[in-house]
Chain A
């Protein structure tokens, strides 16, 4: 399975979410997208969006001073 890493560290809300939106638009169904964000609100906003948009939230993990949020494109 392919995985795309979107490194949005250093960018503030809504940067990381908008980067995910742009990436998911062009990705193939089944692709996993890992967003790296240093903005705490991403850990809440991204899962909320993923739920609304009907994709799968694979995981949210704090790694030192940033968050890794993995999303799988379902449709």
Chain B
């Protein structure tokens, strides 16, 4: 009997589980293989929907689905928090027990740590989790004028383009509410341009300029003065705000840190082609959890899940595991309430940006509904 254990019921974890159970149907039926998914939450959150939730364009109820609905029934689902991976002895400890594995997949994602910027919890807002999005939705509905700062407080963070998207959507939101002339929008980014990829930067800056959206670069906040509503930066600047929308710093799961498997911020060192955790032949990492120089995006988790499931299934069937990941990523970029574009890229191919248009925006809106089919391994 071969045991495959997957930790984390997000995009990466559910996809690896579903693809594996599909590929290993016979082996599972015959009792030769078992797939166990350990997740600390019984529902999955569709995170991209948070961007729409803050503008009341998606409701909270639409953003969650039960894992039992998403998973193939042949997968053994355990709703437990994993507390330690003992990698040298091939087992995982949870709050409730111990799971031995032949193959392990780490799909524990990333999390925001707003508490690491002093004053941010008291003085700022964010939309990177449900509680934050709820608070921000209410605040945006109340906001009648003043200066909004969208500030990226660390790289890497989930969905590299989400801060750009929210900035464009803020512009359209306040335009619809006939308040745009009373609202100043400032976007800040840590490096010397508004986005990591140069050709995306060019288009974004052009659209920012057209819309009167201001931006500052080389801007690394170290503190938020909540009382006086100011952001203080490492570069020695002070930026006042009326509403601060932060992209807080991110870290890997505490489990990775506690198991001694990650780097300083808890990202798992991962081989960029095989997706094996460095130093281990039977442990893979998928999605946000890795230290790979690719976007922390659901689409990346999706493409990586295909490679990992193919290779684990091959090994169980006694075949050579030849699938490789080449850095493929796809990101939609909303540029307002009715305009969108997207980028495709990989390790060797830089992205080309399509001229923003309505069709791509509506494709994203449609995908927001179709996503659950992806999670089930259908689409």
- Residues 25-44 of chain A: 1 if any B CB is under 8 Å from the residue's CB, otherwise 0? 10000000000000000000
A18: B residues at CB distance < 8 A: 154-155, 190-191
Inter-chain CA distance A14–B217, complex, in Å, is: 13
Given contacts A25-B234, A49-B218, A53-B234, contact A15 B190 (CB under 8 A): no
A-B contact count (CB 8 A): 39
Q: Looking across the interface, which residue of chain B has its beta carbon closest to that of A12?
A: B293
Interface range, A side: 10 to 19
CB distance from B248 to the nearest CB of A (A): 14
A52: B residues at CB distance < 8 A: 218, 235
CB distance from B262 to the nearest CB of A (A): 15
B190 near A45 with CB under 8 A, answer: no
A13: B residues at CB distance < 8 A: 191, 196
Q: Looking across the interface, which residue of chain A has its beta carbon closest to that of B264?
A: A22
B235: A residues at CB distance < 8 A: 52-54
In chain B between 124 and 176, which residues have their CB closer than 8 angstroms to a CB of chain A?
Answer: 154-155
Inter-chain CA distance A4–B312, complex, in Å, is: 40
Q: Does residue B21 face the partner (Cβ distance < 8 Å to A)?
A: no
B220 near A21 with CB under 8 A, answer: yes
Q: Does residue B192 face the partner (Cβ distance < 8 Å to A)?
A: yes
Given contacts A14-B155, A25-B222, contact A54 B192 (CB under 8 A): no
CB distance from B156 to the nearest CB of A (A): 8
In chain B between 45 and 101, which residues have their CB closer than 8 angstroms to a CB of chain A?
Answer: none
B222 near A48 with CB under 8 A, answer: no
Q: Does residue B279 face the partner (Cβ distance < 8 Å to A)?
A: no
Interface centre among B191, B196, B264 (most CB of A within 10 A): B191
Inter-chain CA distance A48–B235, complex, in Å, is: 12
CB distance from B45 to the nearest CB of A (A): 27
B191 near A45 with CB under 8 A, answer: yes
A24 near B234 with CB under 8 A, answer: yes
Given contacts A53-B235, A54-B236, contact A14 B190 (CB under 8 A): yes
CB distance from B295 to the nearest CB of A (A): 12
Inter-chain CA distance A21–B235, complex, in Å, is: 10
Given contacts A12-B293, A13-B196, A15-B293, contact A53 B236 (CB under 8 A): yes
B222: A residues at CB distance < 8 A: 25
A14: B residues at CB distance < 8 A: 155, 190-191, 196
- Residues 261-295 of chain B: 1 if any A CB is under 8 Å from the residue's CB, otherwise 0? 00010000000000000000000000000000100
A22: B residues at CB distance < 8 A: 264
A49: B residues at CB distance < 8 A: 191-192, 218
Q: Looking across the interface, which residue of chain A has its beta carbon closest to that of B155?
A: A18
Inter-chain CA distance A71–B94, complex, in Å, is: 44
Inter-chain CA distance A53–B237, complex, in Å, is: 9
B192 near A48 with CB under 8 A, answer: yes
B218: A residues at CB distance < 8 A: 48-49, 52-53
Inter-chain CA distance A25–B222, complex, in Å, is: 8
Inter-chain CA distance A10–B222, complex, in Å, is: 27
B234 near A11 with CB under 8 A, answer: no
Interface centre among B154, B264, B293 (most CB of A within 10 A): B293
Inter-chain CA distance A54–B234, complex, in Å, is: 10
Interface centre among A11, A53, A75 (most CB of B within 10 A): A53
CB distance from A59 to the nearest CB of B (A): 20
Q: Does residue A17 face the partner (Cβ distance < 8 Å to B)?
A: yes
Interface centre among B192, B196, B236 (most CB of A within 10 A): B192
CB distance from B348 to the nearest CB of A (A): 12
Closest 8 CB pairs of A and B: A14-B191, A53-B235, A52-B218, A18-B155, A12-B293, A21-B220, A52-B235, A49-B218
8 A-B residue pairs with Cβ-Cβ distance under 8 Å, sorted by A, are A14-B155, A14-B196, A45-B191, A48-B218, A52-B235, A53-B234, A53-B235, A75-B236
Given contacts A14-B190, A48-B192, 5 further A-B contacts (CB under 8 A): A13-B191, A14-B191, A18-B154, A49-B192, A54-B235
